[in-house]
Structure formats: C-alpha cells, structure tokens
Amino acid sequence: MKSVTYTIEGMLIEVEKPDEKPQAQKLIAIRAVTGMNRAKFAEWLGVPYRTIQDWELGVSKIPEYVLNLIAYKVANEREKGKI
C-alpha cells in the first residue's frame, strides 16, 4: 500500500496507512513534525494525555476542526522557530 500526502494548514503530512484510521494517522504525522513524544505533545497543547492517546489509537475520532487547529498551531510554531 502506498502512502498518501495531505496538506493541512500548509504542512505536507505523509500518512503511511491511509486506510487505517486516517484521522489518527494524520495526528501522528503532525506530532512527528514536532519531534515530541505523546506526553510532551499533550502537555504542549494543553490536552489530556489520554485524549491524545485515544485519538492516535483510533479509540475515539478527533474532530476535523481540532485536527486543523492543532496543525495550524504546529505550523505557526515551526515558522517562528519555536519547535
């Protein structure tokens, strides 16, 4: 299976398994851009660790607007050189 590349808030996000929980895969790819582990990423966003864990494991689905907001924050912080 080929990977798929998405553009979210100006960032190119490559998803290796697009058929398996695409929202979760997008969040994992966005987090990978930051270089943070799950706990640090959750703390940085101000989101409970368990919520991030559930989203990444596909236990619960991350709302599209939340995914976009997270991508927006990551893109802006990268642009400013903060991450």
Cβ partners under 8 Å of residue 51, min gap 6: 42, 60
Q: Is the pLDDT of residue 4 over 80?
A: no
Model confidence pLDDT, tens digit, residues 21-46: 889 999 999 999 999 999 999 999 99
Helices 49-57, 38-45: crossing angle, 10 deg rounding: 120
pLDDT at 11: 75
Q: Going from the N-terminus, what domains does the chain have, and what CATH number goes with each?
A: 4-79 (1.10.260)
Residue 49's pLDDT band (cuts 50, 70, 90): very high
CA distances from 44 to 40, 47, 53 (A): 6, 8, 14
| pTM summary value | 0.83
pLDDT at 2: 78
3-class SS of residue 46: coil
* Cβ 9 vs Cβ 75: under 8 Å: yes
